Structure 1
Amino acid sequence: MLAAMSFIDRIVRNTLTSFCAILLLLMVAFTVYSVVMRYVFENPPVWGDLLTVLSNIWLVFFALALTVRDKDYIALDLIYSWLPPKVSFCIQQFWSMVIFGLGLVMIIWGIEVVTTMGGKYWEMWYFAWEDGQIVFKPNYMPKKYAVAIVPISGFLVCVAAIASICEDVFRLRTGTYKWSKNVDIQS
């Protein structure tokens, strides 16, 4: 079972990392295209800046889940080194639970925002699912598509926090728990 969980964890990490890389590439491409069109051809696209911003926002929210999973968020490793191993373990698990709670908040209020958000981006076209097929809509992408990343990221943050807690508990039981990337705790 542990091997299956490790395999799934690796697949999810690689998928999120790939999404982040693609979004970063798109962000750069949209920016370069917009700048060239604006200053060289004097005909900027109306959608260039918006897609750059949306790519950036989605990149940051996907990266948040990766950060939680890798425990790369801000931590006070120096304080953990002064505390007994079990105490530092408990403090880290407390913070992982707080982050899990943040993920729940993102899910709950994110879904509410997505379902109640009105308005459309006049400069964006979009695709929709109608009558069992994907249909191209030539105008006005709903704004709820842009903020849909909030509940998605909330779910990913919750899963990452739970995976981090499970991993830490397993490592504590086997005696390989680390409170920092550089220092091992010997229980």
Structure 2
Amino acid sequence: MQTLKGKWTSRFIWAATIQGFFAVMWTLFIVNPWYQLFGQVAPSRMIALGSAGSWFAFGYILYIMIGVIAVAVTGLFYYFIEEIMGKVYAGFTNALAWMHFVFMNIGVAGSTWALMYAGYEGGSYLAQHGVSNATAIGYAHVNILSPWVTPIGYMVGVAVLGAILGGLGYLLRSRMK
């Protein structure tokens, strides 16, 4: 069995595995058939209604694409540097890798989960008050969704900062001897 020289590949693969677990939990939340028994609005119904529910769908799709798939693929970048090129992260590049790992995972989970939550709340409100009711649509967008725009933007910024720092570390480590 081959042993790894570096640690970043396994860290990102484990992060993708954990994110994948949470994606499964979100999926179960979406397809759970028991909502109607408790008088709640099913997330699958909100997604089908569109409008505010599309925030939920968009957050869910982005979470799977970035939180699970992109994090796993990022592990392959680290594998290439550490195992194929034989350049183990140390010192400054190790700090950049840590910032990449932490900021990207927190930013992606924070922004996509906030999108899903806001979409669920807005979609639930519209499902109860009518998706063709202009007053309800206005209320949902102004009072439920709008307050989430800035926090979601900040979390996207955290994720992007993590990716930029990781890319910088990747470039520096690949150029070092």
TM-score range, shorter-chain basis?
Answer: 0.3 to 0.5
Normalised to the residue count of structure 2, the TM-score between the two structures is: 0.39
Larger % of strand: which?
1
Normalised to the residue count of structure 1, the TM-score between the two structures is: 0.38
Q: Of the two, which has the highest radius of gyration?
A: 1
Larger % of helix: which?
2
